[in-house]
Amino acid sequence: MNYKQYLVELIKKTAADEDDPGEIPINPSRIQGPPAPPRTRPAPGAASFAQGNPQVKKMQQALMDLSQAVVSQINIKQLGDPNAQQQQQGEAAGRDSFNNFITKSYLRNSDVPGVEFDPDHSKTQMNQKTPSTPTRMGVVMDTMSRIGGSKQEEVVDGRWGPRTNAGLHNAYALAYSLMGLANDFKLKITSFDQEKLTKLKQLIPEHENDMPVLSRIEAAPIIAEYLRGIQGMYNEIKQGVLEKPAYRASIEGDQPFATYEKAGSHLTPQQIEAINTAFANKLQVYNKPISVTDLLNADAFKAWIQKNVPQVPPENVLAQLKRQVSTSMRDTKALSERE
């Protein structure tokens, strides 16, 4: 009896006696039904990943440790602490401003873009996150720390989902910005380098599902090691720049890095011409010549930006200009010493 005949007999039997169909003596060995689907084993590590992979947990913990190290340095809570002294609140505001300067001038230019999620902790669904370009270091670090599943974001759950992937993007962007900052301040870093940054970039997918589960599990411990290196680099910069007495006045807001006189320049036309001659063809910002005349006041500076590099934030132009002026001054000093 084939499978079709068996079904026909079963239907007839049921129709003949609906109240008590009884048992139909059938030899199972004679039934030739459709083949059973093949048994498939889950890919090695897939079940572990679904339940929370331990290697991914270690990577997530390294992400949270890194974000905490940065947040502790900023100590933004002092701004709103009614018990904090006015000086402490001012220092916190200065540190926050300087870290936001790093975010806008370095971090947002990373070749692996960072991201800010909405800092409202009541918004736990991904469609509520409203991702945007980084502007504030505190929000970027908040995004990095909220890597767990819905409603338990600040928990290492061992699942490499969209939150964790966003955290990794921010970690790379932070490393990128710290290396740029260290280079500008001529600070030698021992805990991280360009080669590690390049390798880290290769391990972070644009979207988490772009990388197979097994590949993510294999990459997790390597990334965790790099994240610890980034934290070490941050500590080196913290000691060499952020907490160095020579820079603290500017970082904490007592002495701004750059200011403009609202009323304009007090230089005479002859003095301006002399300075322009001294720096002629020496100052190039984003491969565009800039003169002292373009820097006499904020309006002149804004006009130069609008004409030459309208897409570049003013903070970036100032940072480039500062490096150019420093280089020109060193070259001039070295030349005068040789003469």
Per-residue pLDDT of the chain (339 residues; tens, 9 = 90+): 554 455 445 445 544 443 433 333 434 444 344 444 444 454 444 444 456 799 999 999 999 999 998 888 777 666 556 665 566 666 666 677 777 778 888 888 898 888 888 777 777 777 778 788 887 888 888 888 888 766 677 788 898 989 899 999 999 999 999 998 888 888 899 999 999 999 999 999 999 999 999 999 999 999 999 999 999 999 998 888 877 766 665 565 544 444 333 444 556 666 667 766 766 666 777 778 887 778 777 788 888 888 888 877 777 777 777 776 666 666 655 555 555
The predicted model scores a pTM of 0.58
Residues in CB range of 302: below 8 A, 6 or more apart: 314
- H or E stretch covering 117: none
What confidence score (pLDDT) does residue 14 get? 43
The ranges assigned to domains in the chain are 1-35, 52-251, 269-338
What confidence score (pLDDT) does residue 256 get? 44
What confidence score (pLDDT) does residue 198 get? 95
- Long-range (24+ apart) CB contacts under 8 A made by 42-46 are 43/213, 43/214, 44/214, 45/213, 45/214, 45/217, 46/213, 46/214
What confidence score (pLDDT) does residue 121 get? 73
Distance from the Cα of residue 178 to its chain's centroid: 12
What confidence score (pLDDT) does residue 29 get? 43
DSSP β-bridge partners for residue 116: 132
- H or E stretch covering 116: none
